[in-house]
Amino acid sequence: MEKITSKSNNLIKETAKLFTSRKARYENHQFALEGARLCFDAINSGYAPEMLFFTEELQSKYPAEIEKAVAASKRAALISSEVSAKLSETQTPQGVFAVCAMKPFAERAEQGKKYIALDNLQDPANLGAILRTAEALGIGGAILYNCCDAYNPKALRAAMGSSLRLPMIISDNLVRDITELKANGFSVFATVPDRDAQDITKISFPASSVCVIGNEGNGISDEVKAASGNLVTINMLGRAESLNASMAGAIAMWEMLR
């Protein structure tokens, strides 16, 4: 087994960049994962890591999982605790890291499925939480327009592995893509904080449908609202401004699939 004890090792420096730089991720079509749950979950979800790094301490804690992970990985290396600390985003690193190739994004939404579209979502924790809930509830996939990166370590952590399995579609023009979805028989609903919009509990969502969730502060852009055509709202008895984007997303997805 290869051993890496230097923080200035090139592989370690490149892996550290995958954690911190979106540019590095998309140039290499790779992302990095940290922690036992995320790394082992990726392998159980069919990923074959390009690189697996782990400390002896981690190996003695999870011997069977590490054996399986090493077998699934193209290359593996033992790392010192200094190297683990260098790679880690946490104060108490668990000591396991994986570099994986990004799966191709999905090309288009499939007929007969329900999608969530995210317009300009900026908080990685919100994005990850929505992807996680989407997978739990059985959403067909997520359409991401102008959002923070789903492969950002905070987003990966909040998604708890769901981003590795849920189909994701990257949109570079949400108005155009919504228009195309509608031409292909999808109903599109923009969720807005507006009492004049249709009550989301009164809608029966067709088999092929999309719900759009907007930016944390500014909501959905006017152009996207106009393209969607249907405005829906989550009516609340309480202090509506307290509902955060990931909770609004959870309720919207729940209503789509209820």
Binding residues vs a copy of itself (CB under 8 A) = 129, 132-139, 160-162, 165, 201, 236-244, 246-247, 250-251, 254, 257-258
3-class DSSP assignment, residue 171: strand
Residues with Cβ < 8 Å from 97, sequence gap 6 or more? 15, 32, 33, 34, 39, 51, 52, 53, 54, 79, 84, 87, 88
Residues with Cβ < 8 Å from 25, sequence gap 6 or more? 18, 31, 102, 149, 151
Please say which residue, 209 or 246, places its beta carbon nearer to a copy of itself. Answer: 246
Give the phi and the psi of residue 46 in degrees, each rounded to 5.
100, 5
Q: Tally the C-alpha atoms within 13 A of residue 183's C-alpha that lie toward its C-beta.
A: 7
**CB of 3: closest distance to a copy of itself in angstroms?**
32
Kindly report the number of other CB atoms within 10 A of residue 185's CB atom: 12
Contact 248, 191 (CB under 8 A): yes
Distance CA 200, CA 233 (A): 5
3-state helix, strand, coil in the chain (%, to 5): 45, 20, 35
Distance CA 181, CA 178 (A): 5
Residue 220, both tokens: 């959905």
- As to burial, measured by CB atoms within 10 angstroms (0-12 exposed, 13-18 middle, 19+ buried), residue 36 is middle
